[in-house]
């Protein structure tokens, strides 16, 4: 009853093409953004930022990037972990080589470097498709992790082979390093995510996004109406890697602070982010966040529920949690193979008719 | 319907007059390994006409279209487009040169809405750069709206307003064919290749589609080359017909002439039953 668009007339194409053409959607989104920016920072503490909010934001960004490639352009990639590692090591080298550099610039440049690497590994996509491409990108995953372990220059020849983020400030507040402030970290990641989510939405509703989807849905027809396959696929690889690189950079510099490449950016990260995209919904911006939220928040929730609620042993709870996560993933994929985003969309469509569906 | 018809814009890409030879195929042969799909075929398409290509299954009709829009590269022969000889051309180059195409089995972008499908057809005419697209502001926004207006005109022309925001995967077959025509029209092509535009349609849908094809030809001055098996449609719509059989040309001329030719009757049309 509340969610209804009756009486909302669109008198221009611009209004009709808006991201949220329905007024109720706009209010909800603006409220959500306002709360995230203006209310949450006053209440966050170390636990909330490090356990919940930062992983959510950072993996949300990575899932968003992968969704551009897999969901919008239809090119499967299993190199996400490797590309995140590129972002992390790029920002490490930038932070240590140019101590004066602003952190925003560090993150953006790390994204740019990852975009270049990503396009390089995207070159085979012109020749191979589907699962075969997935295997080709798997090569990127293993090669990049091996490279960052092997070549000392990347970790400044440190004894442990780890990279550690030095202290950096943002507007006079400590952003990175062990004593950084939780709310600064949170706001930094949130701002980057919000800005780049908007950019992603703008891209996918513009010409480039339509070309991506055309390649995804029917590449031959796309070519015959003038879409250049190589350029389009590589641009998807570049944009996607840019996002994933930024996520890797944030994961290293803001969230973890110290990284050992094989542990943090292994193949399981590639799968984790791919699962986020599939569960959230291929080809949906909001789906990327839903998928990230599902896979980041649900384990925490289950653990708290079982340990604090039922007094279960933490070790047992961990095992049960893995079990339950698997079951829930299967459940949601059976209920809606197109992901949580589609479920959400169907709910909204039903809600428009409710309570009189005829 | 004709509010947006601007003959100068639609027909005059190359400044060619009606009746000039728009495309000529000379002695083209195409083989896949040992299989000869097309053998030594020559014909021309004249600006402003409706040209039909007919023939039994496997005669090489679709291969011929694929040669014309650059999807296959013939081993022998030349193609002259707007008076310029070309040998090899990538499909997207053909597209930017004003050749549009629909497919035998619908080749729409299934996950996208009707509107987005047709907007994709405008892609070649959109120029705003990456940064503006990221911001969806300034030139990019202006361009989106400008082309949306054009797309809406095509939507009006083909009477598909009601399915504007429907994902094309959900549409019935007849409407999908129409959306595909819309997408090709969005390119404002000089030459429109239609591969069996009426396959699998019922009588009413065929009549609608025939009317749209004639309207496109007459109002926009678009030259049309079409493959079709329905002889009634072919004979009514086309100005000239070329008949292929086993990759060879067996007849070429106005519909009546072709229909009367003994070769064509033997190879394709057959004889009506004597009662």
Per-residue pLDDT tens for A212-267?
Answer: 999 999 988 999 988 999 999 999 999 999 999 999 999 999 999 999 988 899 99
Q: Total domain count for chain B? A: 2
B11 and B145 inside one domain? no
Q: By mean pLDDT, which of A9-13, B23-27, B112-116 is the weakest? A: A9-13
B3 and B89 inside one domain? yes
Task: Locate B191 and state its tokens.
Answer: 């030459």
Q: Which residues of A273-285 are buried (b: 16+ CB within 10 A; e: fewer)?
A: bbbbbbbbbbbbb
Contact A181, A169 (CB under 8 A): no
Residue B275: pLDDT band by 50, 70, 90 thresholds?
low
Per-residue pLDDT, A281: 92
Give which of B70, B90, B109, B192 to mutate to test A binding, by max A Cβ within 10 Å: B109
**pLDDT tens by residue, B4-23:** 444 444 444 566 778 889 99
Rounded to whole angstroms, the Cα distance separating A109 from B33 reads: 50
Q: Which of B90, B109, B148 sits opposite A214 (nearest CB)?
A: B109
In-domain check, residue A299:
no
DSSP A9-76: ---SHHHHTSS--SHHHHHHHHHHHHIIIIIHHHH--HHIIIIIIHHHHHHHHHHHHHHIIIIIT---
Residue B219 has pLDDT above 60, yes or no: yes
Q: Residue A131: count other Cβ atoms within 10 Å of its Cβ.
A: 9
CB within 8 Å: B120 and A214: yes
Instruction: Point out the domain boundary residue: B187, B213, B245.
Output: B187
Percent of chain B with pLDDT over 90: 64
Segment A321-350 shows an average pLDDT of 87
In-domain check, residue A41:
yes
B200 and B261 inside one domain? yes
Domain that holds residue B91: 1-98+190-275
B88 and B198 inside one domain? yes
Q: Which of A12, A211, A217 sits opposite B111 (nearest CB)?
A: A217
In-domain check, residue A341:
no
Rounded to whole angstroms, the Cα distance separating B48 from B221 reads: 6
- From the centroid of its chain, how far is CA A217? 23
Segment B228-252 shows an average pLDDT of 91
Chain B residues contacting A, CB < 8 Å? 69, 71, 90-92, 94-96, 100-101, 103, 107-112, 116, 119-121, 123-124, 126, 128, 130, 133-136, 140-141, 144-145, 148-149, 152, 183-184, 187
B115 and B94 inside one domain? no
Q: 3-class DSSP state for residue B34? A: coil
B1 and B22 inside one domain? yes
Instruction: Point out the domain boundary residue: B187, B214, B229.
Output: B187
Q: Give the chain B residue nearest A207 (alpha carbons).
A: B123
Domain that holds residue A130: 36-266
B133 and B198 inside one domain? no
Q: Which of A13, A202, A224 sits opposite B91 (nearest CB)?
A: A224
CB within 8 Å: A223 and B133: no
Furthest CA-CA distance within chain A: 70
Instruction: Point out the domain boundary residue: B165, B187, B209.
Output: B187
**pLDDT tens by residue, A91-115:** 999 999 999 999 999 999 999 999 9
Q: Which of B196, B193, B146 is nearest to B173 (CA)?
A: B196
Q: Total domain count for chain A? A: 1
Q: How far is B39 from chain A (nearest CA, A)?
A: 24
Per-residue pLDDT, B40: 92
**pLDDT tens by residue, B174-185:** 999 999 999 999
Task: Locate B220 and state its tokens.
Answer: 């926009």
Mean pLDDT of chain B: 88
Rounded to whole angstroms, the Cα distance separating A115 from A87 reads: 9
B30 and B86 inside one domain? yes
Segment A117-136 shows an average pLDDT of 90
Q: Give the chain A residue nearest B124 (alpha carbons).
A: A226
Mean pLDDT of chain A: 91
In-domain check, residue A166:
yes
Which segments of chain B are extended strands (E)?
Answer: 21-32, 35-46, 50-54, 76-81, 84-86, 99-102, 191-195, 223-227, 240-245, 248-253
Per-residue pLDDT, A311: 80
B207 and B251 inside one domain? yes
B249 and B144 inside one domain? no
In-domain check, residue A314:
no
Residue B273: pLDDT band by 50, 70, 90 thresholds?
low
**pLDDT tens by residue, A145-164:** 999 999 999 999 988 889 99
Per-residue pLDDT, B225: 95
Q: With the C-alpha atoms ordered A278, A279, A281, A286, is the resulting torsion angle positive or negative?
A: negative
Higher pLDDT: B1 or B248? It is: B248
Q: Give the chain A residue nearest B184 (alpha carbons).
A: A225
In-domain check, residue A200:
yes
Per-residue pLDDT, A240: 97
Per-residue pLDDT, A1: 62
Global pTM reads 0.92
Q: Give the chain A residue nearest B150 (alpha carbons).
A: A13
CB within 8 Å: B134 and A202: yes
Residue A273 has pLDDT above 90, yes or no: yes
Q: Which of A14, A207, A222 sits opposite B145 (nearest CB)?
A: A14
B202 and B66 inside one domain? yes
In-domain check, residue A280:
no
**CATH number of the domain enclosing B268:** 3.40.50.300
Per-residue pLDDT, A324: 87
Segment B243-270 shows an average pLDDT of 88
Q: Would the ipTM clear 0.85, i.e. be above it?
A: yes
Query: What is the torsion angle, in degrees rounded to the nearest 10, for the CA atoms of residue A211, residue A212, residue A217 and residue A220?
Result: 60
Q: Which of B100, B144, B183 sits opposite A17 (nearest CB)?
A: B144
Residue A174 has phi, psi (to 5 degrees) of -70, 125
Per-residue pLDDT, A180: 87
With beta carbons under 8 A apart, name residues in chain B contacting A228.
Answer: 92
B169 and B224 inside one domain? no
In-domain check, residue A330:
no
């Amino acid at each position: 009853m509340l969610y209804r668009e009756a009486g909302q007339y669109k008198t221009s194409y611009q209004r009709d093409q808006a991201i949220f053409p329905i007024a109720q959607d706009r209010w909800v989104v603006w409220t959500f953004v306002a709360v995230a920016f203006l209310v949450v920072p006053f209440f966050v503490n170390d636990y909330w930022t490090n356990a919940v909010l930062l992983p959510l934001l950072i993996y949300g960004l990575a899932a968003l990037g992968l969704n551009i490639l897999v969901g919008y352009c239809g090119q499967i990639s299993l190199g996400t972990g490797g590309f995140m590692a590129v972002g992390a090591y790029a920002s490490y080298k930038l932070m240590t080589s140019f101590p004066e550099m602003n952190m925003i610039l560090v993150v953006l440049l790390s994204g740019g470097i990852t975009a270049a690497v990503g396009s390089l590994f995207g070159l085979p996509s012109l020749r191979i498709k589907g699962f075969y491409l997935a295997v080709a990108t798997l090569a990127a995953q293993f090669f990049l992790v091996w490279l960052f372990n092997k070549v000392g220059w990347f970790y400044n020849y440190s004894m442990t082979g780890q990279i550690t983020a030095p202290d950096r400030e943002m507007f006079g507040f400590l952003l990175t390093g062990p004593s950084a402030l939780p709310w600064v970290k949170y706001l930094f990641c949130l701002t980057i995510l919000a800005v780049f989510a908007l950019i992603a939405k703008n891209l996918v509703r513009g010409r480039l996004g339509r070309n991506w989807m055309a390649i995804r849905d029917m590449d031959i027809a796309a070519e015959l109406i003038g879409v250049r396959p190589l350029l389009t696929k590589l641009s998807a690889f570049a944009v996607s890697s840019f996002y994933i690189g930024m996520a890797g950079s944030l994961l290293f510099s803001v969230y973890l602070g110290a990284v050992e490449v094989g542990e943090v950016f292994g193949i399981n990260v590639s799968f984790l982010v791919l699962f986020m995209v599939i569960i959230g919904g291929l080809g949906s911006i909001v789906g990327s966040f839903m998928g990230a939220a599902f896979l980041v928040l649900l384990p925490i929730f289950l653990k708290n529920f079982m340990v604090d609620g039922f007094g279960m042993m933490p070790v047992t709870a961990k095992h049960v949690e893995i079990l339950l996560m698997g079951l829930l993933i299967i459940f949601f994929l059976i209920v809606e193979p197109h992901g949580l985003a589609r479920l959400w969309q169907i709910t909204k469509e039903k809600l428009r008719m409710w309570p009189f569906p005829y | 319907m004709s509010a947006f018809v601007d003959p100068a814009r639609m027909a005059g890409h190359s400044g060619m007059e009606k009746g000039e030879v728009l495309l000529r195929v000379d002695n083209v042969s195409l083989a896949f390994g040992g299989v000869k799909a097309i053998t030594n075929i020559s014909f021309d398409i004249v600006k402003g006409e409706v040209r039909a290509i007919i023939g039994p299954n496997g005669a090489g009709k679709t291969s011929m279209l694929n040669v014309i829009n650059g999807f296959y590269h013939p081993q022998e022969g030349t193609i002259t487009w707007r008076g310029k000889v070309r040998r090899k051309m990538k499909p997207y180059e053909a597209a930017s040169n004003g050749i549009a195409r629909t497919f035998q089995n619908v080749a729409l972008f299934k996950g996208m809405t009707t509107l987005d499908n047709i907007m994709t057809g405008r892609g070649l005419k959109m120029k705003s750069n990456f940064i503006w697209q990221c911001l969806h502001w300034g030139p990019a926004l202006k361009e989106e709206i400008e082309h949306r207006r054009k797309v809406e005109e095509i939507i009006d022309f083909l009477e598909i307003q009601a399915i504007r925001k429907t994902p094309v995967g959900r549409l019935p077959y007849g409407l999908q064919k129409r959306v595909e025509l819309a997408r090709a029209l969005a390119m404002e092509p000089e030459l429109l290749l239609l591969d069996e535009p009426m396959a699998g349609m019922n009588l009413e849908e065929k009549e609608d589609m025939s009317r749209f094809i004639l309207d496109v030809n007459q109002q926009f001055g678009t030259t049309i080359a079409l493959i079709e098996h329905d002889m009634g449609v072919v004979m009514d719509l086309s100005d000239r017909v070329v008949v292929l059989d086993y990759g060879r040309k067996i007849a070429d001329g106005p519909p009546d002439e072709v229909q009367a030719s003994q070769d064509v009757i033997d190879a394709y049309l057959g004889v009506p039953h004597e009662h």
